[in-house]
Amino acid sequence: VTGASFVVFNGALKTSSGFLAKSSIVEDGLMVQITRETMESLRQALRDKKDFRITCGKMDTEDVKEYVDICWVENYDKTNKG
């Protein structure tokens, strides 16, 4: 689990790269590189206020994958008020 001050979603990852998605820590935030198709799905999930999971890693391996989970919460007391 990684806490971050901000998240950047970059929808320019090419399918030919061999990656499902890539995540990396940038300063005190998180950058997630995703394909255009995943970006469209993410946008729709945000509009619909639905949870969304992005699987990061290479397409052709069974190695342990990283996940970026976007979750809607009911408890507003523990969220960032700034």
CA distance 17 to 57: 11
Q: How many domains does the chain have?
A: 1
The answer as to whether 79 is a domain residue is no
Q: Name the nearest CA neighbour of 61 among 22, 18, 32.
A: 18
The answer as to whether 31 is a domain residue is yes
By DSSP bridging, strand 19-26 and strand 52-58 are antiparallel
The answer as to whether 82 is a domain residue is no
The answer as to whether 1 is a domain residue is no
Q: Who's near 14: CB < 8 A, 6+ residues apart?
A: 35
The CATH number covering residue 66 comes to 3.30.1360.220
The answer as to whether 65 is a domain residue is yes
The answer as to whether 78 is a domain residue is no
Residue 64 belongs to what domain range? 6-70
pLDDT of residue 82: 57
Q: Which whole-number Å values give the CA distances from 9 to 12, 39, 78, in the listed order?
A: 9, 8, 23
Tell me the mean pLDDT per 10 residues along the chain, length 82: 84 92 90 95 96 92 83 72 60
pLDDT of residue 12: 93
